[in-house]
């Protein structure tokens, strides 16, 4: 089957789903508020270990289903071994389904899944040089799209009318290939927003309000890039550690970012001031955020577990 046809269908589905969601925002927000009011204060750290995770790279809260999705590379980040999988974990830390989406099962191709993003009922997942799409509720494959010249697609973020994807631009030994880039998938196809060594191996990405924040693996400097201008943008925060991976924005303008170098998750205020909020967590990869419970969701890449920490 022609992957492009599959992708077109996905794009249409995603667009329709997004349009359908537009009017519900207020209701969802109100419902979230009600739930939050009756929920006990969340002070417990939950560690999900020995659950069967294999090189977990990313955790994403599907707020509609209220589950945490965990992408598992299962092997080396660039190996086309067909064995990647995505787990569903309940907020209490119990595993709902370890291999909810599994390479080789039900016609699914999945090698080394990394970043994830939801747009309506479509789950997008990066996989080396492709972005794959699945149905949020059923996990059914909805198609894929390859990115020409991509080396190491990593994180994803959605905006109103587009999907943004980082290519860390490194090889299997994490040496830069010169292909570091940020791509935009829109109605008109794939465009390059930014490219080059100045991006310092872009890893995590968060998009909101006409701009994106990018956490590079090759430095400790978080960059802000204007969506309309593109380019390498400006440094908005210099952290005590580098090898940055996941980044999530909070409602107050602050953001959280993880550093492999210092085994720490930082909270960075809008003025760029960084504070360590979770320490001694080795290889903290693409963190997620449960906004309702105010928890950061940390995949511990090298140790096959997920840690869930409350954030004040
Ligand atoms: Ca794999
Ligand atoms: Ca990542």
CA 26 to ligand 2 center in whole angstroms: 31
Look at residue 41 in the predicted model and tell me its pLDDT.
Answer: 54
Cα–Cα distance between 265 and 116 in angstroms, integer? 19
CA distance 260 to 220: 10
> With respect to CATH, is domain 3-42+53-238 assigned 3.90.180.10?
no
What residues have a C-beta under 5 A from ligand 1, the ion?
A: 74-75, 81, 83-84, 112
Q: Which residue reads 């191996």 in tokens?
A: 201
Cβ 289 vs Cβ 283: under 8 Å: no
Backbone angles phi, psi at 72, to 5 degrees: -120, 115
Q: Which residues of 230-244 are buried (b: 16+ CB within 10 A; e: fewer)?
A: bebbeebbebebbbb
Rounded distance from Cα 257 to ligand 2 centre (Å) = 11
Q: Are 171 and 79 in contact (CB under 8 A)?
A: no
Alpha carbon of 109 to ligand 1 centroid (Å): 11
Where do the structural domains in the chain lie, given as residue ranges? 3-42+53-238
Distance 103 CA to ligand 1 centre (A): 9
Length of the chain: 312
- End-to-end CA distance of the chain: give it in Å, rounded: 49
pLDDT tens string, the chain, 312 residues long: the values are: 334 434 444 443 343 333 333 333 333 333 334 444 445 557 899 999 999 999 999 999 999 999 999 999 999 999 999 999 999 999 999 999 999 999 999 899 999 999 999 999 999 999 999 999 999 999 999 999 999 889 999 999 999 889 999 999 999 998 999 999 999 998 888 999 999 999 999 999 999 989 999 999 999 999 999 998 989 899 999 999 999 999 999 999 999 999 999 999 999 999 999 999 999 999 999 999 999 999 999 999 999 999 999 998
277/274 Cα distance (integer angstroms): 9
* Alpha helix positions (H), the chain: 3-22, 25-38
Q: Is 243 left (phi over 0), alpha (psi -120 to 50) or beta?
A: left
Ordered strands of the 202-208 beta sheet: 202-208, 211-216, 221-226, 234-238
Query: Can you give the C-alpha Rg of the chain in angstroms?
Result: 18
- Predicted confidence at residue 244, as pLDDT, reads 98
Q: What is the pLDDT of residue 18?
A: 33
Say how far apart CA 85 and CA 198 lie, in whole Å: 33
Query: What pLDDT shows up at residue 148?
Result: 87
Ligand at minimal distance from the CA of 110 is 1
How is residue 185 written in tokens? 């998938």
Residues facing 166 on adjacent strands: 182
Distance between CA 219 and CA 111 in Å, rounded?
A: 27
**CA 166 to centroid of ligand 1, rounded, Å:** 19
- For residue 251, the SS3 value is coil
pLDDT at position 13 is 37
Instruction: Calculate how far, in angstroms, residue 61's C-alpha sits from the geometric centre of ligand 1.
Output: 22
Angle at 137 between CA 132 and CA 140, to 5 degrees: 45
Distance 99 CA to ligand 1 centre (A): 13
Instruction: Give residue 312's pLDDT.
Output: 86
Give the burial string for 162-175 (b: 16+ CB within 10 Å, else e): bbbbbbbbbeeeee
């Amino acid at each position: 089957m022609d992957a492009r046809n599959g992708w077109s269908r996905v794009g249409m589905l995603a667009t329709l789903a997004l349009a359908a969601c537009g009017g519900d925002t207020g209701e969802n927000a109100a419902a979230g508020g009600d739930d939050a009011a009756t929920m006990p204060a969340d002070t417990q750290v939950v560690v999900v270990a020995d659950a069967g995770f294999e090189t977990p790279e990313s955790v994403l809260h599907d707020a509609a289903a209220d589950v945490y999705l965990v992408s598992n590379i299962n092997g080396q980040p660039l190996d086309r071994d067909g064995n990647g999988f995505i787990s569903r974990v309940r907020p209490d830390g119990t595993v709902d389904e370890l291999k909810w989406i599994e390479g080789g099962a039900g016609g699914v191709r999945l090698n080394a899944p990394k970043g994830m993003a939801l747009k309506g009922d479509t789950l997008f997942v990066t996989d080396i040089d492709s972005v794959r799409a699945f149905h949020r509720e059923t996990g059914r494959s909805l198609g894929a799209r390859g990115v020409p010249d991509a080396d190491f697609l990593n994180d994803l973020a959605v905006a109103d009318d587009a999907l943004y994807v980082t290519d860390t631009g490194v090889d299997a030994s994490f040496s830069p290939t010169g292909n570091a880039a940020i791509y935009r998938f829109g109605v008109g196809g794939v465009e390059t927003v930014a490219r080059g060594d100045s991006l310092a191996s872009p890893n995590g990405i968060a998009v909101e309000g006409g701009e994106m924040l990018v956490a590079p693996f090759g430095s400790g400097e978080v960059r802000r890039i204007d969506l309309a201008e593109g380019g390498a943008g400006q440094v908005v925060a210099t952290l005590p550690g580098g090898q940055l991976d996941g980044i999530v924005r909070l409602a107050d303008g602050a953001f959280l970012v993880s550093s492999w170098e210092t085994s720490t998750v930082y909270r960075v205020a809008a003025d760029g001031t960084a504070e360590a909020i979770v320490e001694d967590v080795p290889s903290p990869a693409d963190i997620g955020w449960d906004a309702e419970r105010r928890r950061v969701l940390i995949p511990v890449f090298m140790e096959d577990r997920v840690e869930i920490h409350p954030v004040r």
